[in-house]
Copies of this chain bind each other. A is one copy, B any other.
C-alpha cells in the first residue's frame, strides 16, 4: 500500500466513514454482517478500504455474512478475493484470509447424520416401511425407518421423531447399536448412520402420506429373507446385532446427560453397562 493511500485510509477511519461495520471474533479476525442493502459499487469501495484497514491492524480471517436479499454484493466480495465458506437457505458466508501463513479457517460442516430405527414388538415383528422416493422406491423392499437428524437435534430424539413421523408408532430410545460411515453420499459430503434400537410404546400403524408408500409390522424371518437384506453384508449383520441385543447378548451405546463447565447439558453416548461402576470410583492408580 502506498503512503498516500494509507493516509487516505487513516483519514477515512478517523472520520468514521468509508469502512464496513465489523465486529471482532475470538480468533484475531473480524465479522461483517451485511444487514442493510447497499449498492454493489459502494460496497466494493468500502470493502477495499476496509481490507486495507484490517491488514494494517494485523487481522487474520475476515468473514462476510450476506443475507440472500443482498445477493447483489456477492460478485464484489468474490472480486476482492473472498471465497465461499458455507451457505444456508437465507444467507451466504464468505471468508478471506489476510496473512501469508496457511489459513486456520475452520472447515464447513462436513457430515449429514442419519438414523435407522430397529423397532420390534413382542411377536418378533419388526417395524418396516416402503419408501415413495429414493433408490429403494418401487422395488417392493421393506426397510427400517430411516431419516436425517436435524441441525440442533439429538440422535436419540431424531430416532423417536422419524419412527413417529413415518409410521405413527410411539417409541422409546434404547441405544445406538452401531454406526456406519459413508463418504461422498450427497454432494461430496460424508454421512454417519446411527442404527438405533427403540422400544415401541404403541402398535397401531398410521403411515406418513408424503414419503411412505407402506408400513407394517413384519415377521423378522420375512424381513431377513429379503434378498435386499441377505445380499448386503451390512444390513444382514446389523439385523443380527439387533436380535442379539434383544436377547441380552449385546450392549451398544446408551445416553447419559452430562453438563460441561459452562453448565450446558449435552448427551454422551457410551456403554452404560460397562460404565455403571465408574460414577463413584476413583481414577485408576498405578
| Interface residues of A, Cβ cutoff 8 Å to B | 26-27, 68-69, 71-72, 74-75, 77-79, 83-93, 101-102, 104, 106-113, 124, 133-135, 148-155, 177-184, 186-190, 192, 210-211, 220-221, 224, 228, 231-234, 237-241, 243-244, 246-247, 249-253, 256, 258-261, 264, 266-271, 274-275, 277-279, 281, 283-286
Nearest B residue to A105 via CB reads B89
* A178 close to B104 (CB less than 8 A): no
* A267 close to B180 (CB less than 8 A): yes
* B239 close to A252 (CB less than 8 A): no
* A149 close to B110 (CB less than 8 A): yes
* A110 close to B107 (CB less than 8 A): no
A84-B74 contact in complex given A237-B268, A239-B283, A251-B271, C-beta closer than 8 Å: no
* A234 close to B268 (CB less than 8 A): yes
Interface of A is mostly: mixed
A84-B75 contact in complex given A253-B253, A258-B234, A271-B252, C-beta closer than 8 Å: no
Nearest B residue to A231 via CB reads B261
Shortest distance between the CB of A55 and any CB in chain B (Å): 20
* B283 close to A220 (CB less than 8 A): yes
Show 28 residue pairs from A and B whose CB-CB distance is below 8 angstroms, ordered by the A residue: A26-B135, A27-B134, A71-B74, A71-B75, A74-B74, A84-B89, A84-B92, A85-B89, A87-B87, A87-B93, A87-B108, A109-B186, A110-B149, A111-B111, A152-B184, A152-B190, A154-B181, A179-B269, A179-B270, A180-B266, A182-B266, A234-B268, A237-B256, A240-B278, A240-B283, A247-B284, A251-B251, A253-B253
